Every structure is written in C-alpha cells, then in structure tokens.
Chains A and B, each alone.
Chain A
Amino acid sequence: GEDVEQSLFLSVREGDSSVINCTYTDSSSTYLYWYKQEPGAGLQLLTYIFSNMDMKQDQRLTVLLNKKDKHLSLRIADTQTGDSAIYFCAEGYSSASKIIFGSGTRLSIRP
C-alpha cells in the first residue's frame, strides 16, 4: 500500500541543525519529495531525490535516502527563524500520477 509517515513536531534552537525524518511503504516510488508550507500559504517544493540516489545536497539542505529501510530525512543546517513551517515528505512515481504526502512535521525554532 501507499503510506508516508512523519513525526508531528520538531523544536530546535536557532543556528542548530534540524533533521526531519520520514518513512514510506511503497518501494515502487521513483521520486521522494520535501515540501514546505508556511501558515496560510501554498506548498513550496524544497527539493527532491530520485529513488536510485542516496544523497542530495542543495545549499543548507541535505536529503538522505535509505531505500532498504524506506527512510528519508531532511537536514537543514544553521536553522533560521524563517525555516519555521510545516514540512511534508511525499513520494511520487515516474508515471507522473498522484503524489502521496505525509501528515507533515511542524518545525519550530527556539531563540
């Protein structure tokens, strides 16, 4: 079946690294995504990784994929107050059909 799970909340101190974790069940997914949603706003695609990759780095963002364990993580280095948002893990398919989203992790930043 298709299911994506994430922890609901994460609190980090400003300047520290944030690590948001996600597990998924469908091994046939081709793309694993991270989206960001700020209050009252739409979904912003942060980054994505192909399922045949282990890691992708993009400035302060690092995505790690463990395909064997179906585990995906997003690391945000030097977390800033502007990073406060809900982060959604999602999986997609090469057929360009639906994307399956997790319930989101709310990241809050402590001063």
Chain B
Amino acid sequence: DTGVSQNPRHKITKRGQNVTFRCDPISEHNRLYWYRQTLGQGPEFLTYFQNEAQLEKSRLLSDRFSAERPKGSFSTLEIQRTEQGDSAMYLCASSLALGGRALDTQYFGPGTRLTVL
C-alpha cells in the first residue's frame, strides 16, 4: 500500500478524555499536513510539518491540540480534554517539497472520525 494511512478510522470518546490519532504518510514524502472537516464544511488546515519541523499552525489549533512528527515519518495528533465541538473528521495528507517548493500535490488519507459524547 503506497497511500496515506490513518488510525483509528473511528473514535468515540467521552468529553474530557484525551485522544491520539496516527498518520502514516506516503514513504518518500517529506511534508505532512493535518486538516479538520466538520459536517457540511470543507477541510480546514490545522498544521503541517516538513520532516520533524512543525512549520505552521492554524489559529484553529488551540492549546488542547498538539501534533508531533518525531522522526520525520509518521505523525500523531493529540487532543486533550476533548469537547463536543471537537467532533469532526481529522484528515492527514502528505506531499513532496524541495527547496520550499511543491513537487507534487497533497494526497489525503481516509481520515479519523472523532465523536465526543
């Protein structure tokens, strides 16, 4: 499988709990992105990495959210003290960039659907 994979595909949690999602990008891609999609909306950018470095964070990414990409391969997105408003599809994408310029478009994974009760 050469696509972007995400785990778990579905997560149901109670308000106040912490959750962690994982994304495995396409193996040769050096950039990894996180987006959030709520019902009836398009995906909204959260953050992205080049290798291990987190290059940009959206103002949507509150203090309860943290993303890491420790070895420049897979990434995790953690949400602490979840709220009902965090319920959404969390999408990961990856791409290849060189010298700060895109060599290819972003390829998206299937997403992790989070439901906070």
Interface residues of A (CB under 8 A from B): 4, 30-31, 33, 35, 41-43, 45, 48, 88, 90, 92-104
User: Contact mask B106-117 → A, CB, 8 Å, 1/0?
Assistant: 111111000000
CB < 8 Å neighbour of A92 from B44, B58, B106: B106
Whether A100 pairs with B97 at a CB distance below 8 angstroms is no
Q: What are 12 A-B contacts with C-beta separation under 8 Å? A: A31-B102, A35-B108, A45-B105, A95-B100, A96-B31, A97-B55, A97-B56, A99-B33, A99-B45, A102-B42, A103-B40, A103-B42
The tally of residues in B whose CB lies under 8 Å from a CB in A reads: 27
Whether B87 sits at the interface, judged by CB under 8 Å, is no
CB < 8 Å neighbour of B42 from A90, A93, A94, A96: A90
CB < 8 Å neighbour of A95 from B40, B44, B45, B102: B102
Interface residues of B (CB under 8 A from A): 31, 33, 40-45, 48, 55-56, 58, 91, 93, 95, 97, 100-103, 105-111
Q: Is the interface of B mostly helix, strand, loop or mixed?
A: strand
The 3 A-B pairs of least Cβ separation, nearest first, read A101-B42, A96-B102, A98-B45
Give the complex CA separation of A100 and B103 in angstroms: 18
Least distance between A37 CB and chain B CB atoms (Å)? 9
**Residues in A neighbouring B105, C-beta threshold 8 A:** 31, 33, 45, 48, 92
CB < 8 Å neighbour of B107 from A41, A45, A102, A104: A45
